[in-house]
Structure 1
């Protein structure tokens, strides 16, 4: 690492990453419901299925080589260039294969109408993989502050373009254009921030050496990808594109808090934990603090969304989506159950426990796919989402056991500390849901129900947090004061 890693640098980089996501949160909060009102569930479902296939092939094409670059001791130019050309070569092979086999793949997923989308969206694979090396350089240098602006620009312009095209009657092309616009601007930004320019240098031995290490990382990433994307594929195959579209719209909206917090936190924690690989005490302290903080931030968002799902679905998505409010609520609940696990993947990757991460990721992927398939095959989309909640509750317990055993932290005490903010958020959500069902639903417009629910829930959560998380709050306050004290001491 070219930059020393400590609590201050990690906090600063997490702050910049979260800021870049938070800045686009408001825009996405508006654009997702707008697109849902302008487009049909079938259009959402077709793009979601095609994107799942594209992202899966892009992950295979990358082979985890960019992640391996982050863990390299030195930034050796020839190795960096070799990884870039290897990534690009694999990307075009994957894109060509997807174009040729688009129709049988679409038929297998139960989305024959999406075959043309697969052929068109195959170009996203080289677009994504071309920027992997540049991002790896930004991550290993801990230069997330420089990347934040470009991330905000790409997401914002893409979202605005999608809404404009949808309003102009372009239908499904609005969603496709959003992906391409964001991808192109993001690629330009990564090259600009990293100051990386590919050169015609290639050393096969460097690629082979990194591949031996990266295959383990790629295996766990593929398994995690299956965990996140298999519900979409299963729902499309067993229940059809309309239900897949309902799931996609609800999943897009319920994932916004994760995109704001986790995408910023996880990108920084991976290189940070890598730098602490041989310092168990610092690594253990960083694990617990980052887990508690992400749970403290995310859990009230997810459980709160579950509490106000019914009026929120009607208010934001319109009458054509109103019946799908249980899907939104159950998805928020399923994600809320996993908030304490948010830091576990970068911890296992960065601390050198790739084998533990791989086997657990494979087990989780199999359990998630089987549970959702069982619910969808024997029932409806609601039953599939209930099954997802049940398997995620089991994942929370199992994942915590694996990570705290690896970290040599007492499992029960570590588990309780990590889930305590989640339990507080669950109590808050139950109180809000009870108030809505028994006092507010019959008397207020959905907009007022959502507003009152947010204010009521926020007040309850603040009080409960002060009562239950005083040590954590004091620790965070100390982290804020320390840089100020250091700056004051350095003044003449």
Structure 2
């Protein structure tokens, strides 16, 4: 790594990343419901199918070379340029093949009518892959503040363009324009702030040298992709585009808290854990602290969304989506179950347990796909969401065992500490949902239900955290005080 990693640098970069994702959260919190009111479930479903194919090919095309660049000791120019040209060539080939075979690929998803969208969105693959090198350079330098700025700019521009086009009746083209404009603006921004200028230098041996790590990362990323995207594929094929659109809209909205916290934290923790590979005690402390903090932040958001799903769907998405509130609620519940696992992937990547990450990702992908496919064949969309909750509960135990064993932390101790905030969040959400059910006749207005539920949930969870997480709160307080003292000590001297 080219830059030293310490608690101060990690905290600063996490703060910038969280700021960026919070801005994105605010935009999506507004734009997703607006677009859902202006577009139909079928239109959401068609774009979701096309985007699933594009993201899968873009991930394969990158082959993990960007992640491999992050952990290199030095910024070797030959290696960097070689990765750029390898990514660009692969991206162009994949985009061309997807354009030619868009119809049979769409038919495989049970959505042949989405073929024209697949052809257009194939061009997203080069836009995504050509930015990998610039982002990898910023990540290895721990310059996440610059990436954060351009992420906010690109997401803001894309959201405004999408809403504007939807209001003027452009329909599904609004969603496509959002994806392209955001990708293009962020690509230009990454190159501007990283200072990277491609040079025509390609050395195959440098690519091959990265192969072992990158292929391992690609394998685990593919397995994780299957885990997260197989529900969309199965729902589209067996339940139709309307259900696929409902799942896509609910998934986009319920993923917003994850994108705020996890995307920010994971991007910083990967290079941070990598720098702590040979310091076991410091690494274990960082793992447990980051896991507990992310769980304290994420669990109440996700369980709270489950508790308020019914009024939230009606208020935010409109009457045409009201029938899908169980989908939103159960999706949020399934994601809430996994909040203690939020730091596990960057940990295993950063400390060199690529094989463990790969095999566990494969096992998870197989069980998730099998459970979703089995319930979709014989049940409804709600049944599929329940199956996801069951699978994720099993994954929580398995993932925790794998990671704590790799770290040398006693399983029971690590599991209790990491899941305790989740238990508090569930108790809070259950109390809110129980209370709203009892007060439904006295409080029929869904807006008031949302406001009352959010206020009551925040108060209940705050009390529970103070009662159960005192040691964590003391640690955070001490960290803040030490930072203040370190900042003031030079002036005092």
TM-score of the two chains, using structure 2 as the length reference: 0.99
1:227-242 equivalence runs, <5 A: 227-242=227-242
State the distance in 1 between where 2:193 and 2:418 align.
Answer: 35
The answer on whether the counterparts of 1:20 and 1:148 sit within 8 Å (CA) in structure 2 is yes
Partner residue, 2:352: 352
Instruction: Single out whichever of 462-471 and 23-32 deviates more from structure 2.
Output: 23-32
State the distance in 2 between where 1:432 and 1:137 align.
Answer: 45
1:6-405 equivalence runs, <5 A: 6-405=6-405
State the distance in 2 between where 1:230 and 1:221 align.
Answer: 13
Query: How far 1:212 moved relative to its partner?
Result: 2.4
Query: How far 1:440 moved relative to its partner?
Result: 3.8
State the distance in 2 between where 1:64 and 1:55 align.
Answer: 14
Alpha-carbon spacing, 1:149–1:427, altered in 2? closer, same or farther (3 Å) = same
Q: Secondary structure at the match of 2:200?
A: coil
Q: Secondary structure at the match of 2:409?
A: coil
Partner residue, 2:409: 409
The answer on whether the counterparts of 1:250 and 1:331 sit within 8 Å (CA) in structure 2 is yes
Partner residue, 1:449: 449
Q: Secondary structure at the match of 2:74?
A: coil
Q: Give the superposed CA RMSD.
A: 0.8
State the distance in 2 between where 1:162 and 1:476 align.
Answer: 40
State the distance in 2 between where 1:39 and 1:188 align.
Answer: 30
Residue ranges of structure 1 left out of the alignment (5+ in a row): none
Partner residue, 1:439: 439
State the distance in 2 between where 1:26 and 1:487 align.
Answer: 32
TM-score of the two chains, using structure 1 as the length reference: 0.99
State the distance in 2 between where 1:353 and 1:212 align.
Answer: 13
The answer on whether the counterparts of 2:2 and 2:73 sit within 8 Å (CA) in structure 1 is no
Q: Secondary structure at the match of 2:439?
A: helix
Query: How far 1:355 moved relative to its partner?
Result: 0.3
State the distance in 2 between where 1:93 and 1:243 align.
Answer: 32
The answer on whether the counterparts of 1:306 and 1:429 sit within 8 Å (CA) in structure 2 is yes
The answer on whether the counterparts of 1:375 and 1:385 sit within 8 Å (CA) in structure 2 is no
Query: How far 1:24 moved relative to its partner?
Result: 2.4
State the distance in 2 between where 1:128 and 1:350 align.
Answer: 23
Instruction: Single out whichever of 374-383 and 474-483 deviates more from structure 2.
Output: 474-483
Q: Secondary structure at the match of 1:198?
A: coil
Query: How far 1:477 moved relative to its partner?
Result: 1.2
User: What per-residue deviation string (whole Å, max 9, x for no partner) do you get for residues 388-443 of structure 1?
Assistant: 00000000000000000000100011001000000000000000000110114552
Number of residues paired by the alignment?
492
Alpha-carbon spacing, 1:334–1:441, altered in 2? closer, same or farther (3 Å) = farther
The answer on whether the counterparts of 1:8 and 1:479 sit within 8 Å (CA) in structure 2 is no
* Structure 2 residue 484 is matched with structure 1 residue 484: yes
Instruction: Single out whichever of 229-238 and 433-442 deviates more from structure 2.
Output: 433-442
Q: Secondary structure at the match of 1:5?
A: coil
Q: Secondary structure at the match of 2:75?
A: coil
State the distance in 2 between where 1:218 and 1:197 align.
Answer: 25
State the distance in 1 between where 2:266 and 2:272 align.
Answer: 10
Instruction: Single out whichever of 185-194 and 345-354 deviates more from structure 2.
Output: 185-194
User: What per-residue deviation string (whole Å, max 9, x for no partner) do you get for residues 84-114 of structure 1?
Assistant: 0000000001101101111001111000100
State the distance in 2 between where 1:340 and 1:212 align.
Answer: 29
Residue ranges of structure 2 left out of the alignment (5+ in a row): none
State the distance in 1 between where 2:59 and 2:26 align.
Answer: 29
Q: Secondary structure at the match of 2:142?
A: coil
State the distance in 2 between where 1:190 and 1:168 align.
Answer: 31
User: What per-residue deviation string (whole Å, max 9, x for no partner) do you get for residues 182-212 of structure 1?
Assistant: 0001101111121111111111100111122
Alpha-carbon spacing, 1:442–1:53, altered in 2? closer, same or farther (3 Å) = farther
Query: How far 1:6 moved relative to its partner?
Result: 1.3
Query: How far 1:444 moved relative to its partner?
Result: 3.5
Query: How far 1:452 moved relative to its partner?
Result: 0.5
The answer on whether the counterparts of 2:21 and 2:260 sit within 8 Å (CA) in structure 1 is yes
Instruction: Single out whichever of 50-59 and 25-34 deviates more from structure 2.
Output: 25-34
The answer on whether the counterparts of 2:428 and 2:461 sit within 8 Å (CA) in structure 1 is yes
